[in-house]
Structure 1
Amino acid sequence: MNASDLRPSLAGGPHDVAVIGAGFSGIAAGVALLKQGIEDFVIFERSEQIGGTWFVNRYPGAEVDLESHIYSFSFEPYDWSRTHADWSELLGYLQGVARKWRLDEHTLLNTGVETVRWSDTAHTWSITAADGTEHGPFRAVISAVGFLNTPLIPSFLQGETVFQGDICHTSTWRDGLCLEGKTVGVLGTGSSAVQIVTEAERLGKAVKVFQGAPNWLLPKNARDFTPQERRWNRFKPVYYWRRYRLYLDYDRRQYGASHARVGGRVNRKRQKMVEAFLEQEMGAHPELKELLRPNFSVEARRTVVSDTYYAALRSPKTELVPHRVVDVTPTGVVDAQGQHHELDMIVLATGFDAANFLGTYRVIGENGLDLREQWSEGAEALYGLVTPNFPNLFMIFGPNTSGIPLVTFYEAQARFAAAMVKKLVRGRATIVRVRRSFHDYYNRRLQRRLSRTVWTEVPSYFHATSGKIISQWPFSPTAYLIGTRLARWFGVKAS
């Protein structure tokens, strides 16, 4: 039975709004629409459950890097069990929010989107699903898919593989896949890798970590809340005070891009912190310490947070291989030095195709323009929300909006989109488009600021293939909240 059979009222159209994605940002969009009195919308979700990232990322040890109180919706407090929630608790939270706001009644599950197409004459969008079904027309589309959703798979592992053991990317972890008693090879050393390495060292027979390049590491200080803390957290003033204090800390840290600006006060402070943590954890292991020391500034790549990774590397069960894997055999892998490593299981913690925004489907705008062509030198949009030649299309977690706290950004973007959609639904306009001059000025200023950050030092997923920084937000979250207000008043034109 397909999604259309389950939700016949949602299939086809017409409908006011299409929301693509049912993760954090898609739920934020749905709630924002309901708060604006807009109830005729359809959420397209390619997975079999609501939850987005936290439905697909269910590998052992998966948990959020941000504190639970700030990595959650401002309008939905929750009785968190840990300072940093794991994937199962986050998934339960998101699905609970969706049920409370009845978003499940608006959602087509198992319905991936293949093409989103604009009509120059009707001023509406149509959607072609992955199974070929046509949906629409829609007055507006809200893309809530982000950019960390297409796994990067090494070329030698694409298609059929000769490896006879288990192999899996962290974002496509299969139910029933286990680490117990196995020699596990982990490809990568980013945020997902450090979590899976910890679990593999705990449960497996042996672990080999294949490191192309090291990353700076900071302690996460994650723990369970005590029963007394949980009782206090259920008291809303205490809950929101905790959340507000976390927000202020992140806001101060990112003011003027101090955390990432060359010579920034916060950046200098964090450099001392990562150096001290490396010395504390690996000072007695000088060979390991040198292998783990990056040759770039802190924050130049995403700084990893973990309380357990260094300890897992010190274990006699773990071997750090300071080379990339270049080939696979029936019984293992071959590293860049030509050495063969026998493995029972390969875990790909190789990240995502982050340079390809909205890369899971095609978007065809005015005069048949393909969004991928427009963004061939790197994605750009006004506050990551709207881009020229694609009217009535709004984005959540769009270009240059990767800032902390993420959910605060999602909520601001959802409010912007819902306010613009309201103009269309109420008949006050048929087209909402970005003002080109405002868009171009904003992006010039943005790139000037980004050019003064440590993000320019080394290649990373922050960059497009052209070298342009397309993911990062170089100002504070408060600056972003103010900016989305200004964009609503001055940056778009409704006609």
Structure 2
Amino acid sequence: MTSASSTSSPQAGAHDVAIIGTGFSGIAAATALIKEGVDDFVMFERSPDIGGTWLVNRYPGAEVDLESHIYSFSFEPHDWTRTHADWRELLSYLQGVARKWGLYERTLLSTGVADVTWDETSRTWSIQDEAGSTHGPFKAVISAVGFLNTPLIPSFLRGETAFEGDLCHTSSWRDELTFKDKAIGVLGTGSSAVQVVTEAERQGKSVKVFQIEPNWLLPKGARDFTSAERRWNRLRPVYYFRRYRLYLDYDRRQYNAAHARVGTWVNTKRLKAAKEFLHQEMSSRPDLEALLTPAFSIEARRTVVSDTYYKSLLSPKVELVPHAVTDVTPSGVVDATGEKHELDLIVLATGFDAANFISTYRTVGEHGIVLRDQWEGGAEAFLGVMTPNFPNFFMIFGPNTSGIPLVTYYEAQAKFAAKAAKRLVAGGASKITVKTYLNDLYNRRLQRRLEKTVWVEVSNYFQGTSGKVVSQWPFSPTAYLIGLRLARWFGMDVK
């Protein structure tokens, strides 16, 4: 393992493997390569530091929706301070893992990737960065950019606007921004929005939440660990018991996508819990209870978890505006009814273009095929890790692999990519592709299963432009792990 104290930059030129992205999935890929004995790789990161999502999503109140024990690497336990870690603790954890495994020395920071191009003659990839420099050749490329990296911003709020106050998307939060004594407008009611609203209510002068549609919400159960709990958690058997118990719970809940099919015991139980929580919190405000009750099935859109959002809406400082924002003025915004709202700060908690996979760079495979063109109407891949016409190109958190626990998926995909890369580096193969007929058969069956879920019920970020569900995995995590292992044995053409 490389020394964590070294800070030298990686050498330019040829390397065996390139990894694009240094968040959870990029770190999973790098450590998997090292475990497989593949040491000659370079990582590309467009941000000035390692951390991915948790480097850029640093808005007030930002924290993970999953339990800390399961939202972490299986091979790197940590002394977590909270049941659900906030962005500071997660970023510190990721950067600590990167230092321990010597990844800073292998990373080109502030180096965004613009183009990734396959050369059939040499059976290698080359990469052009955003500054125009060319890197490579590489025997394999691992894309670890995820799919929550292109912010959705209303057209009238892009570029220069008439608004004279502060305006910021949650994914590009500026550290100097403050809620203190400000009139704050929050656009959106998803996972980021509910965290922002809680902090805005605590610190701000007033808060207006602009809601197009409500989301189903469940209590999160987030809290600090007690000192006694932390002492117990430092014992590895206890730590891994808690992690495994969480895994089994998620595995059972997602068996055959039970959580996302109306009438199953899981879906029925979650709907009942969401309704009871809403009524319990809003019994004094039936008007708000009505506005906060969705018209669609639970899980049809991402279910929000929060212990504090409903309480924040009851504050005299907070107003729920059940309309979209349609325009901006120098001193605020205009909603869909034409009413003007005076604001000092506008927070865009409007989410991401989540259906647009690998959207931050252009990928050109065999026969000059561009990945964006191949995926027009909806991305698809074999178990999310490989797609036809793009040999030696592996994805982590690719199409239809969004399931819980996320990091378990990342580690499995990283291991798959690392083992394939090892064959390429060792000379046992020069070209690894997914079997096209198997890819087509797999995706047809996958879509038939997805059509039985609530994810097709309403428009949501799970769907591509054609309406096809492109992000969700409709089986349990154990089913995915088994499928990925079988794919390694039977799903690839190796030349």
TM-score (norm 2): 0.98
Q: Deviations over 1:222-280 (max 9, x none)?
A: 00000000000000000000000000000000011110023222001111010101110
Which AA in structure 2 matches 1:188? G
Query: Residues 113 and 337 from structure 1, CA distance in 2 versus in 1: closer, same or farther, beyond 3 angstroms?
Result: same
Offset, 1:20: 0.2
Which residue of structure 1 aligns with residue 168 of structure 2?
168
User: Secondary structure, in 3 states, of the residue corresponding to 2:209?
Assistant: strand
User: Quick one: which amino acid aligns to residue 223 of structure 1?
Assistant: R
SS of the residue corresponding to residue 168 of structure 2 reads strand
Tell me what 1:120 maps to: 120
RMSD: 1.0
Answer whether contact 1:257 1:264 (CA < 8 A) is retained.
Answer: no
Partner of 2:452: 452
Secondary structure, aligned partner of 2:28: helix
How much does 1:283 deviate? 1.7
Q: Deviations over 1:87-119 (max 9, x none)?
A: 000000000000111111111100000000000
Does residue 372 in structure 1 map to residue 372 in structure 2? yes
Deviation at 1:17, TM superposition (A): 0.4
Do the aligned partners of 1:11 and 1:135 also contact (CA within 8 Å) in 2?
no
Which position in structure 2 is the counterpart of 1:196?
Answer: 196
In the alignment, the residues of structure 2 paired with residue 479 and residue 79 of structure 1 have an alpha-carbon distance, to the nearest angstrom, of 30
Pairs within 5 Å for 1:75-474: 75-474=75-474
Instruction: Provide the rounded CA distance (Å) in 2 between the counterparts of 1:412 and 1:164.
Output: 48
Give 1:213 deviation, angstroms: 0.6
Q: Distance in 2 between matches of 1:289 and 1:191?
A: 19
Structure 2, unmatched stretches of 5+, are 1-5
Percent pairwise identity? 71
Q: Following the alignment from structure 1 to structure 2, what is the Cα–Cα distance between the partners of residues 9 and 72?
A: 27
Q: CA separation in 1, counterparts of 2:226 and 2:101?
A: 30
Q: Distance in 1 between the 2:38 and 2:308 partners? A: 46
Aligned equivalents of 2:7, 2:114: Cα separation in 1: 19
- Confirm or deny that 1:27 pairs with 2:17: no
- In 1, the alpha carbon distance for the partners of 2:7 and 2:49 equals 14
Equivalent-residue separation in structure 2 for 1:94 and 1:124 (angstroms): 30
Match of 1:3 in 2: none
Q: Identify if the C-alpha distance between structure 1 residues 330 and 160 changes in structure 2 by more than 3 Å, giving closer, same or farther.
A: same
Aligned length: 490
Answer yes or no: is the 8 Å Cα contact 1:262–1:452 preserved in 2. no
Q: Distance in 1 between matches of 2:159 and 2:66?
A: 35
* Residue in 2 that maps onto 1:44: 44
1:15 maps to a residue whose letter is H
Which whole-Å CA distance do the structure 2 matches of 1:423 and 1:265 have between them? 45
Hey, what does 2:3 align to over in structure 1?
Answer: none
Q: Letter of the aligned partner of 2:108 in structure 1?
A: L
Q: Are the aligned partners of 1:165 and 1:345 in contact in 2 as well (CA < 8 Å)? A: yes
Secondary structure, counterpart of 1:259 in structure 2: helix
Residues 9 and 428 of structure 1, relative CA distance in 2, 3 Å threshold:
farther
Superposed structure 1 runs of 4+ greater than 6 Å apart: 6-9
Provide the rounded CA distance (Å) in 1 between the counterparts of 2:11 and 2:471: 34
Q: Which amino acid aligns with 1:219?
A: P
Whole-Å separation in 1 of the counterparts to 2:263 and 2:41: 47
Shift of 1:7: 8.3
What is residue 15 of structure 1 aligned with on the other side? 15
Deviation at 1:10, TM superposition (A): 2.8
Q: In structure 2, what is the Cα distance between the partners aligned to 1:204 and 1:357? A: 36
Amino acid at match of 1:424: L
- Please tell me whether the aligned partners of residues 186 and 207 of structure 1 are also in contact (alpha carbons under 8 angstroms): yes
Contact 2:9 2:108 in 1 (8 A): no
Offset of residue 12 of structure 1: 3.2
**Any conservation in 2 of the 1:362–1:371 contact (CA below 8 Å)?**
yes
Residue 299 of structure 2 aligns to a residue whose secondary structure is coil
Q: CA deviation at 1:284?
A: 1.6
Work out whether residues 13 and 138 of structure 1, in 8 Å CA contact, stay in contact via their aligned partners in 2: no
Aligned-pair CA distance for 1:11:
4.5
On the 8 A contact 1:384/1:395 being kept in 2, the answer is yes
In 1: Cα distance, 2:252 partner to 2:489 partner:
26
Q: Secondary structure at the match of 2:193?
A: helix
Scaled by the length of structure 1, the TM-score of the pair is 0.98
Q: 1:9 to 1:337 in 2, by over 3 A?
A: closer
In structure 1, C-alpha distance between the alignment counterparts of 2:20 and 2:121, rounded to whole Å: 23
Q: Assess if the C-alpha contact under 8 Å between 1:12 and 1:134 holds in 2.
A: no
For residues 355 and 372 of structure 1, what CA distance do their matches in structure 2 show?
A: 12
Per the TM alignment, residue 9 of structure 1 is displaced from its structure 2 partner at its CA by 6.2
Q: Deviations over 1:188-214 (max 9, x none)?
A: 000000000000000000000000110
CA contact (8 A) 2:9 2:107 kept: no
Would you say the 8 A contact 1:33–1:39 is kept in 2? yes
Aligned equivalents of 1:358 and 1:304: distance in 2?
25
